[in-house]
Structure 1
Amino acid sequence: MYKLKTSSSIFKRFKITSGNKIFRHKSSKSHLLQKKSSKRKRKLRRSVCTIFSDIKNFKNALPYI
């Protein structure tokens, strides 16, 4: 049986907790921050749990997690 490859792009962008929840960072935090309010930028710092229906796709991309 051959080894399965993990998708390194998904492995870098998402974190998996012990309860099999998948967290991601919010987008729109890299540039053009001058016109965004401080409240909006503060909310963009948080990580968010992904949608439950997407977990099946992650299991295929990350076979050993």
Structure 2
Amino acid sequence: MKTRKAAAKRMTLTASGKIKRRKCGLTHLQSKRSSRTQDRNNDASQSVAKSDYRAARRMMPHA
């Protein structure tokens, strides 16, 4: 099976088996948001939801 490169570039597999991903909407247009919102979004990584985990693992079989 081939790895889907687009998915592999956006997600990483942790040592415990979870898949980490970035939050969306944080690349630009941040000046209109409050500093409190920006601070909350600084931790921009989240783990993939349980419902999406199986699909994400199928996209990255060799990760």
TM-score, normalised to structure 2, is 0.84
Larger relative contact order (CA 8 Å, sep ≥ 6): 2
Aligned to 2:16: 19
Q: Residue 18 of structure 1: SS of its match in structure 2?
A: coil
**Per-residue deviation, 1:5:** 1.2
Aligned to 2:41: 44
**CA distance in structure 1 between the partners assigned to 2:57 and 2:26 by the alignment:** 27
TM-score, normalised to structure 1, is 0.82
Aligned to 1:61: 59
**Per-residue deviation, 1:6:** 0.4
* Contact 1:14–1:23 (Cα < 8 Å) also in 2: yes
Q: How many residues align?
A: 62
Q: Does 1:5 align with 2:2?
A: yes
Task: Mark the structure with the bigger radius of gyration.
Answer: 1
**Per-residue deviation, 1:10:** 0.8
Q: Over residues 2-54 of structure 1, what are the superposed CA-to-partner deviations in whole Å (9 max), with x where a residue is unaligned?
A: xx210111111111101111111111111211110112112222111110111
Over 3 Å off, 4+ runs: none
Q: What is the percent sequence identity of the aligned residues? A: 29
